[in-house]
């Protein structure tokens, strides 16, 4: 068929692709396509170019979705920063009590490892949180963000369970110490403060924080590890 004679069919091809051709026009087009290689090629090329242009547009739209996913990640991290702040405050109060009691001579003994432990307890989660924040901002697609969030929540879960166990264990130790050492003021009061603060910390983590982390974990879609893709399918050739 010559090019001009096919123009009508080529328009019909476009119309059918976009759902604007009626049954009769579609039947005539099919009959024509059986005999016309040029129109078959036009049809195929039109479909292909459209699919690829659509993929580009969706890629652009994907950036918007990525920002939404990133915002969700930021919300999760914000919650964890709040937990971290509360934990640090509680720990600081507990150690400050002990340091104050010992410095003022109300309680016997030196300042001990308390301040060093408090600083360590501050620095380690702070470094981990900063690293998580950096990973979130550097993630290049939603799969990477979901993968990172799951990893981050898993780490926080482990840390929280560990913290709960330590909190309750320390509380029990101070309780035993208080029973053994007597409950007279002021040493008894200091021990009571520790029993209460560490016990409260352990229980708070177990009752409030762990269930919240488990809930957050359930809400994060499971995605394949983006760092573990076969070379042929890796988006960045990793």
* Of positions 30, 31, 120, 140, contacts other proteins by CB under 8 A: 140
Residue of 1, 27, 30, 50 that binds other proteins (CB under 8 A): 50
19: tokens are: 């759902």
Among 1, 57, 207, 214, binds other proteins (CB under 8 A): 57
Tokens 């919300």 sit at which residue? 75
What are the structure tokens assigned to 77, written together?
């991290």
With respect to other proteins, which residue has the nearer C-beta, 38 or 92?
38
Nearer to other proteins, 26 or 49 (CB): 49
Q: Residue 190 CB, nearest distance to other proteins (Å)?
A: 56
In this chain, which of 1, 7, 100, 154 binds other proteins, going by CB under 8 A? 7
CA distance linking residue 59 with residue 61, whole number of Å: 5
Residues whose CB falls within 8 Å of the CB of residue 220, separated by 6 or more in sequence, listed in order: 146, 149, 150, 153
Distances (CA, A) of 105 to 17, 164, 191, 202: 87, 31, 15, 29
**Spatial separation of the C-alpha atoms in residues 235 and 222, rounded to whole Å:** 18
Other beta carbons within 10 Å of 165:
13
Residue 10 within binding range of other proteins, rule CB under 8 A: yes
Q: Which of 35, 63, 218, 231 binds other proteins (CB under 8 A)?
A: 63
What is the b/e burial string over 170-203, where b = at least 16 CB atoms within 10 angstroms of the residue's CB?
bbeebbeebeeeeeeeebebbbebbbebbbebbe
Q: Which of 23, 60, 71, 222 binds other proteins (CB under 8 A)?
A: 60
Pick 143 or 177: Cβ nearer other proteins: 143
Closer to other proteins by CB, 62 or 112: give it: 62
Among 92, 97, 133, 141, binds other proteins (CB under 8 A): 141
For position 4 contacting other proteins by CB under 8 A, the verdict is no
Nearer to other proteins, 54 or 74 (CB): 54
43 three-state secondary structure: helix
Contacts with other proteins by CB under 8 A lie at: 7, 10-11, 14-15, 18, 20, 41-42, 45-46, 48-50, 52-64, 66, 140-141, 232-233, 235-236
């Amino acid at each position: 068929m010559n090019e001009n004679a096919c123009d009508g069919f080529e328009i019909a091809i476009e119309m059918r692709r976009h759902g604007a051709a009626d049954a009769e026009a579609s039947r005539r087009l099919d009959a024509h396509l059986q005999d016309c290689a040029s129109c078959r090629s036009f049809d195929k090329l039109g479909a292909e170019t459209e699919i690829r242009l659509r993929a580009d547009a969706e890629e652009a739209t994907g950036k918007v979705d990525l920002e939404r996913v990133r915002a969700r990640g930021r919300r999760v991290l914000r919650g964890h920063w709040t937990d971290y702040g509360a934990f640090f405050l509680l720990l600081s109060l507990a150690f400050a009590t002990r340091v104050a009691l010992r410095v003022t001579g109300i309680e016997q003994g030196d300042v001990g490892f308390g301040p060093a432990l408090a600083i360590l307890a501050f620095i380690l989660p702070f470094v981990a949180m900063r690293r998580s924040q950096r990973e979130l901002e550097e993630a290049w697609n939603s799969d990477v963000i979901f993968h990172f969030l799951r990893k981050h929540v898993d780490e926080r879960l482990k840390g929280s369970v560990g913290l709960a166990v330590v909190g309750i264990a320390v509380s029990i130790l101070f309780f035993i110490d208080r029973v053994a050492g007597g409950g007279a003021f002021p040493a008894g009061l200091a021990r009571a403060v520790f029993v209460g603060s560490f016990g409260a910390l352990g229980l708070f983590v177990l009752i409030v924080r762990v269930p919240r982390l488990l809930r957050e974990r359930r809400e994060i879609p499971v995605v394949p590890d983006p760092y573990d893709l076969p070379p042929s399918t890796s988006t960045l050739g990793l």
